[in-house]
Structure 1
Amino acid sequence: MTDALLSTANIHGIKVPDSRLGRAITEFIRDTENELLFNHSSRVFFFGAIAGRQRGLSFNPELLYAAAMFHDIGLMPSHSSEHLRFEVDGANAARDFLAGHGVDPSDIERVWTGIALHTTPGVPEFMHPVIALTTAGVEMDVLGLTYDQYEDEVREAVVKAFPRSANFKEDIIQAFYDGIRHKPDTTFGNVKADVIADKEPHFHRGNFCSVIRGSRWKA
């Protein structure tokens, strides 16, 4: 989708924020991420915002847009640290970007948390709407957990505006792997360990019980 069409896309009453901050986010992510992740992140925003409407939640579209668009930037080499979880890398990148645009620290904290927790199921849904809806968008676009909660025409409109690749399921798993393969230990205790194990059959993931038993405590 061209920038002109992007700014006017209206799906189920949801639009990309056509503000100075919204445009800056779009430009930054478009210049930083590949098409697969840019389109995925855009769909996360729309699915998350639509979920917010369905649930009757009040949220700031700019903040949700920031969280959705930055949530996977930690997979990109330019924003990937050596030892931090990719979710934290993305959250840190969003924090720096938003601080540079004068966003209130309390709002930045919500965006940071939404990104940091987007792969931690069972927790974000009980938190601030920006945090909850970031995860809701991810769970819809990647996992399809709430697929039936969206009308056919709504799903089709989102995908038409921001297409899924022909082999998106495998493409996104590969993108996850490419972004975290150099730091597999950061996947301990989270869903991304499944990605490493899928691509590396001999991968030995960290074990919570083994950590307890192997600690320096005597009992």
Structure 2
Amino acid sequence: MLSCMRYDDVIFPDTPVCGTAREVAAQYHSASLLNHSIRAYIWAAAYAQERGIGFDAELLYVSAMLHDIGLTAEFDSHTVPFEEAGGHVAWAFAAGAGWPVERRVRAAEVIIRHMWDVVPVEEDPEGHLLELSTGMDISGRRTEDIPAGLREEVLRRHPRLDLVKEFAACVTDQGTRKPSSLAGGFVRGGIAERMANNPLDG
């Protein structure tokens, strides 16, 4: 159980590509989705740091900033699930940032896998952490692993705003148009109800 991790203890990678990724996220996301992306990184990094999970902070941060960009009107795809569309955007973004092909592929993988039920930490620590943290922030899964002090400070700095309403609308739209996608399964599985009961909104 996390107990004493605070906001200032969280590793924030200070690289040009991270700053640009946040700028891209801010350009295309609503304030609610931008804050969600920031919190997804924080929950993931804090969880990893407390448990001694080694992770690539820059890769995780960029992936967190861009993981929902496939939900935006500008990057929504009518042919592939939103997480796959986001993976393609991340690959192109990483290419522009000068990342080698292997690292571009990793960014795409992490984003695609954030929608999986399970991502083995030993195989893909960044994918595991983003899948875990987005589940915390969206459906309230394992929020007990977030220490009270960190939770309070993060929600004050990066409030949830209209996330429940906005994300429920986005994922319902995705699931309706792409019923065979993971989003379609989430909708049929009652994601809207789980979001409405997320302890982070309590």
TM bin, normalised by shorter chain, reads 0.7 to 0.9
What CA distance in whole angstroms lies between the structure 1 residues aligned with 2:109 and 2:76? 18
**Partner residue in 2 for 1:62:** 58
Work out which of the residue numbers 91, 96, 112 in structure 1 matches 2:108.
Answer: 112
What CA distance in whole angstroms lies between the structure 2 residues aligned with 1:181 and 1:192? 4
TM-score, normalised via structure 1 length: 0.77
The answer to which structure, 1 or 2, has the higher relative contact order (CA under 8 A, 6+ apart) is 2
Answer whether contact 2:62 2:107 (CA < 8 A) is retained: yes
Answer whether contact 2:118 2:131 (CA < 8 A) is retained: no
Residue 91 of structure 2 is aligned to residue 95 of structure 1? yes
Change (3 A) 1:191 1:28: closer
Work out which of the residue numbers 183, 191, 195 in structure 1 matches 2:187.
Answer: 195
Deviates more, 1:153-162 or 1:169-178: 169-178
CA RMSD, aligned part only? 2.2
Amino acid at match of 1:64: L
- Tell me how many residue pairs correspond in the alignment: 186
Residue 71 of structure 2 is aligned to residue 75 of structure 1? yes
What CA distance in whole angstroms lies between the structure 2 residues aligned with 1:29 and 1:186? 27
Answer whether contact 1:110 1:130 (CA < 8 A) is retained: no
Work out which of the residue numbers 161, 178, 184 in structure 1 matches 2:178.
Answer: 184
**Partner residue in 2 for 1:25:** 21
- 1:43-63 C-alpha deviation (Å, 9 max, x unpaired): 000001111112211112110
Query: Percent same amino acid at aligned positions?
Result: 26
How far does residue 29 in structure 1 lie from its aligned partner after superposition? 0.9
**Partner residue in 1 for 2:196:** none
Q: What runs of 5+ residues in structure 2 fail to find an aligned partner?
A: 1-5, 192-202
What CA distance in whole angstroms lies between the structure 1 residues aligned with 2:77 and 2:166? 22
What CA distance in whole angstroms lies between the structure 2 residues aligned with 1:69 and 1:124? 21
- 1:75-116 C-alpha deviation (Å, 9 max, x unpaired): 011111111011100010011001111112222222211111
Change (3 A) 1:191 1:183: closer
Amino acid at match of 1:161: R
TM-score, normalised via structure 2 length: 0.83
Deviates more, 1:117-126 or 1:95-104: 117-126
What CA distance in whole angstroms lies between the structure 2 residues aligned with 1:16 and 1:79? 27
Work out which of the residue numbers 121, 142, 145 in structure 1 matches 2:141.
Answer: 145
**Partner residue in 1 for 2:3:** none
Q: Which runs of 4+ in 1 moved over 4 A?
A: 196-199
Answer whether contact 2:81 2:178 (CA < 8 A) is retained: no
Work out which of the residue numbers 151, 165, 173 in structure 1 matches 2:168.
Answer: 173
Larger Rg: 1
**Partner residue in 1 for 2:200:** none
Work out which of the residue numbers 21, 41, 46 in structure 2 matches 1:45.
Answer: 41
Q: What runs of 5+ residues in structure 1 fail to find an aligned partner?
A: 1-9, 200-219
